[in-house]
Structure formats: structure tokens, C-alpha cells
Amino acid sequence: MAGQTGTGQAGRSGRSGPSGTYRGMTAAERTAERRARLLEATIDVWADPATPVTMTRVCQRAGLTERYFYESFRSLDEALVAVVDAVATEVEQRTTAAADAAGDDPAARVRASVEAFVGLVVEDPRKGRVAIVEAAADPALRPRRAALLRHFAHLAAEEARELYGRDRAVADGELAGLLFVGGMAELVTAWLDGGLEATPAQLVTAATSAYIAMHR
């Protein structure tokens, strides 16, 4: 009877039971939830140029102790890289899905992809700022940012070969891809910093026209 009573009390209090759950979540789910909170807090702190990004500030914003920070990341730099990678993954997923939904017309596919990227930045400017602007200002993050730019340049080159034919030299396509992606990054940086007065629609039109002109 005592064992049964103890089990019942644990269930009512939300403590971990025989299955390892706590408040309806497994240990793995709780770890994933804490990691997600830390990533969101990192974006929030890092996106504010007036606030130095530190592990202490990230933990405070997430409402977690440093113990839980180290549960997910070995260092602040690792958390920053994770944020940049998460944003890059979201950009790739959104732009690819938008292009595929646009059909086979080259101009429509390019515009849809650019609109998806600009839409993400408009929807959450923090993501554009940390992945494009702040990552470039941090020496520890520059190699990862550069690698991601080259990755997206390769994707742009691959898309161009699909849309406009494969007779163009691979090296030329990669150069054009890097020129486009690098230019897009600079365009968004100037826009986020307030140095460029333009509407999102104007950004989309300018970037789409540039991409198409490169491959005529």
C-alpha cells in the first residue's frame, strides 16, 4: 500500500515516474525544449547591437541556469554557431519550397525564392541580423558565415544550371552564385542597418533582376 500511495503522490505532483516522464515530457523532450529556449534567447540577445552577448545574458533571457546551458552547448561560440546554422536551415527550406511551388518558369522560381528570403527577414529581422550582420562582425563566426555563403552560392549555381542550361562552365556558375549571394547579403545588411531606404518589394525586384541578368 505504501508503494502505491507513493506512486500516486508522484503522479499528482508531476515528478518523474517509472517511465521517466515529468509533467508529460520525457528527459529527451525536456532537453530539447531547454535547447530551443536557449537558441531563442541567444537570437534575442545577439540581435541587439547595444547589448554584448554573453552566456549570463542568454541564460537570464531563457530563464535557465548555466548548468542547462552546458547541457546543450560547450561554449557561447558553439551556441552562436548553432543559431547561424538554424537560420541558414530555415532560409534554405523556405526558399526551396517557395521555388518548387512556383512551377517551372525560371523568372517565377527566382522571384519566389527571393521573396521567401526577404519575407523571412521582414517577419523576424533578428534572424537576418545575427546570421548576416553580427556573424560577420565576430571573428570566431566569420569562417562559418563564409562557409554558409559558399553553400548558398553553390545552390544558386545549381539552380541556374537547371533553369538556364548546363552549357555554362561550372566555375563560371559558382562565381556568379557567390557574386549574387554576397551581393544579397550586403543588400540586406545595408537595409537592416538603415543605410538603404527601400521597401521589401523593391529588394525582391532588385535581387531577382540581378540574378536573371547574370544568366541571360
Give 129's DSSP letter: I
Mean pLDDT calculated for residue range 77-92: 97
Nearest one of 168, 164, 110, 131 to 43, comparing CA atoms: 131
Asked whether residue 64 carries a pLDDT value surpassing 90, the answer given is yes
pLDDT at 19 over 80: no
Residues 118, 146 within the same domain: yes
pLDDT digits (tens, 9 = 90+) for 154-205: 999 998 888 877 555 555 788 999 999 999 999 999 999 989 999 999 999 9
Q: Give the pLDDT of residue 59.
A: 97
Q: No. of H helices and E strands in the chain?
A: 11, 0
Say yes or no: 69 and 134 in one domain. no
pTM: 0.83
Q: Among 73, 95, 114, where does a domain finish?
A: 73
- Mean pLDDT calculated for residue range 34-46: 96
CATH number of the domain within which 53 lies: 1.10.10
Structure confidence at residue 166 (pLDDT): 58
- What is the residue type of 143? P
- Is residue 9 in a domain? no
Residues 51 and 94 placed together within one structural domain of the fold: no
- Type of residue found at 190: A
The string of DSSP letters for 130-154 reads IIIIIHHH-TTTHHHHHHHHHHHHH
**Burial annotation 119-147 (CB, 10 A radius, 16+ → b, else e):** ebbeeeebbbbbbbbbbbebeebeebbee
Asked whether residue 181 falls in the same domain as residue 119, the answer is yes
Residue 4 lies in a domain: no
Residue 103 lies in a domain: yes
Ranking 14-28, 129-143, 183-197 by mean pLDDT, the lowest is 14-28
Q: Mean pLDDT throughout 76-86?
A: 97
